[in-house]
Structure 1
Amino acid sequence: MATVGDGPRAGKAKDFDIVATYYRLLAEDPDLTMPVAAIEALIELLVQSRAVTIYETLDLVKTQSDYLKSRVPNSISLSAGTDLFQRYIISSLKPTSTGSFEAVRQHLLSNGRLFVSRAKAGRERIAAYGRHFVRDGSVVLTHGGSRVVGALLAKAAEASASGGNVRFKVIYVMNDARSSESKTVVSALRAKGVPVATISEGAVGYAMGKVNLVIVGAEGVVENGGVISRLGTYQIALLAKAAGKPFYVAAESHKFVRLYPLGQYDLGIDQEVIDFRTEDEKDPAQEEGKSTGTVPKPEEKSEGSPSSPAQPKQAVDAVDFTPPALVSALLTETGALTPSAVSEELISVWY
């Protein structure tokens, strides 16, 4: 039987690397979300699959989904897509289905592609609906590179440029670890005529007094209505709550994930954001650089300066958990949802 890269056996499928396919899809389409990329990768797997029974198909999809999640450091977002697609297959590939298995499989593939197209269209629906939350004269605070938030603000800017009466400003929280992404978001908004002020993460509390609402994106929306998003979202939500400012989360429904964390450390991923060391302990990254000969030259230090200044640990892909009590509403393609409504949405999909 053929194998999939270094991964599990793929049954009667051709040679197929689902991890490479997943990353290729993300690279080819910068606007693609991780759950949708995972679903498209699974569809490509089924296209090349030689499975001839329902059991083989289900086993193949489950095995490859688990393998993909094991090879991606932060698999929370993509797991929403893989789990949803597996549920879709179970409901589609029933033993009572009429016709040959090949006809059923082709029906599954065509409907799977339709599902992907609808998931992509969800972003524009959220933007069209969510722009009404941006009122005339308001100041919106946001951070990160959420595509749906960018589409929402762009839609609000287009309404203003086309003769509408909505004029708003944006305060954008810069991320030093993702400076290029931050600059891209700011430039895109300014190009549409939106006045944007940039602040550091340490200035969020200071700026909150001028903010009317906060809008952020999400990598995943969990069962209790809480949100898993870019590191720093939680502290922004805390400050917004303390200042009495509404905190909105814009997220597509395919990011709803079956996970019930009770706190920051129940996400099931090892992020290594907090790393305790003494002066005698070396940074593993620096030690690895020494072994490969890629350690940068130390900067010249003046007399009396510390020999090894402490540097903050930058977790580029780290996320945090924002509890539902801090979320005012979730802006989805079906409208605004309260955090408590998320569990009902998941029940309607899974049961």
Structure 2
Amino acid sequence: MADFQIYQSYQRLLKNEDLSTPLAAILALTEMMKQSNAGTMFELLNELKGNAEALSRHSSNPIGLNAGCELFIEFITLFPHDAASFSELKTELIRQGQQYAGQALAYRAKIAELAFDFIKDDSILTHSYSRVVLQTLLMAHKRKRISVFVTEARPRGMGIKTAEMLMAAGIPCTVVLDSAVAYAIDKVDFVLMGSEAVVESGGLVNAVGSNQIAIIAKAANKPFYALAESYKFHRMFPLSQYDLPSHNPGVLSFPQTPSARAHPASSGLSSESSSILSDNGSPIKITQEDIARNNPDVDYTRPDLISLVFSDVGSLTPEGVSQYLVGMFAG
């Protein structure tokens, strides 16, 4: 186990475009089990928990992978067996983990079928990039007339990737500035959102900006639907944005910079020659990279803002998600 690098294995698995972070985490843990020298279930569980913690430490946004690790470790803990030896049991656990990850790839198609019944000839707003949302929209396009507004989704700009893929499939699509969602919402019939995790409160963790879209949709009386595979259900109960494990004190902080002054030669109205200098004479310039570093990647959307969660286990209200999670982890 000393030479097994769990995070490198996880990163390698993520290169597969079909694998989301929870499934990549599950498969990384199954690879760890192959390398493990554990001789008892107690030792194996300790190794699994230690490697799950290592994955979380190395990731700036561990929410999705934590959901996968949590699910897999709970499965290992409660797995019923009649194996004659621990070695035989470990082989079966590895097989079960790999089999689950393979079967879970079909969950998106199941969710798409479920959400399809709620889609008419509509205009839809979506945010950032989500494999399950993309699959749902592509399915709807084959049988219905839809048009899609996609937010730009800064700082990563993943909404542009979504828009390009939708347009390549022939779906009428336009990219909306994140700051223009309230302007565009009256043209929209409902919001269709992906997820990084659905938490125990029934709330949603997703790309930053999701929360403000939900607030705007609620104010405009537009349904807000979330799509989430059940392996993204996470036993976490955030009360605010700052309870997310991806939050750090550096987010939205005020950097220590020298006070600025306008260059005397640029005191006219022309902006072309103007520059801002600090007291020591060095220019001050804020880049998009600076802004991205000082902002969160994900945010939390409260359950009261969510109309329904479509999952492979059914169409659930936020309260239904809470009940399902309690049952799943109660054994």
Normalising by the residue count of structure 1, what TM-score does the alignment of the two structures yield? Answer: 0.84
1:40 and 2:27 matched: yes
What percentage of residue pairs aligned between the two structures are identical? Answer: 36
Among 246, 270, 273, the residue aligned to 1:303: 273
> 1:66 is matched with which residue?
53
CA contact (8 A) 1:273 1:318 kept: no
Q: CA deviation at 1:51?
A: 1.8
Q: CA deviation at 1:187?
A: 1.7
Match 1:91 to one of 78, 81, 87: 78
1:281-311 deviation digits (Å, cap 9, x = unpaired): 79xxxxxxxxxxxxxxxxxx84334342555
Is the CA contact (8 Å cut-off) linking 1:54 and 1:93 kept in structure 2?
no
What's the CA shift string for 1:244-269, capped at 9, x where partnerless?
00000001010011111111111133
1:80 corresponds to 2:67? yes
Q: 2:309 aligns with which of 330, 345, 349?
A: 330
SS at match of 1:50: coil
| Equivalent in 212, 215, 224 of residue 238 of structure 1 | 215
Q: Please give the TM-score of this superposition, normalised by the length of structure 2.
A: 0.88
Structure 1 stretches of 5 or more lacking a match? Answer: 4-14, 161-165, 283-300
Q: 1:151 aligns with which of 131, 135, 150?
A: 135
Deviates more, 1:51-60 or 1:314-323: 314-323
Deviation for aligned residue 1:155: 1.1
Return closer, same or farther for 1:73/1:93 CA change in 2, 3 Å cut-off.
farther
- Count of matched residue pairs: 310
1:1-351 pair list within 5 angstroms: 2-3=1-2, 15-27=3-15, 29-92=16-79, 97-136=82-121, 138-158=122-142, 160=143, 166-179=144-157, 181-271=158-248, 272-277=250-255, 279-280=257-258, 302-307=272-277, 308-311=284-287, 313-315=291-293, 318-351=297-330
Give the SS at the match of 2:186: helix
Matched AA of 1:330: V
Cα distance in 1, alignment partners of residues 298 and 54 from structure 2:
22
Structure 2: runs of 5+ lacking an equivalent: 261-270, 278-283
- 1:207-262 per-residue CA deviation (whole Å, 9 max, x = no partner) reads 00111000011111110100011000000000000000000000101001111111
Amino acid corresponding to residue 114 of structure 2 in structure 1: Y
Deviation at 1:184, TM superposition (A): 2.4
Contact between 2:186 and 2:220, CA under 8 Å: does it hold in 1? yes
Letter in 2 for 1:125: K
Alpha carbons of structure 1 residues 35 and 221: separation in structure 2 relative to 1, 3 Å: same
Residue 288 (structure 1) aligns with: none
Runs ≥4 residues deviating over 6 A: none
The Cα of 1:49 is off from its aligned counterpart by 1.6
Contact 1:241 1:326 (8 Å CA) reproduced:
yes
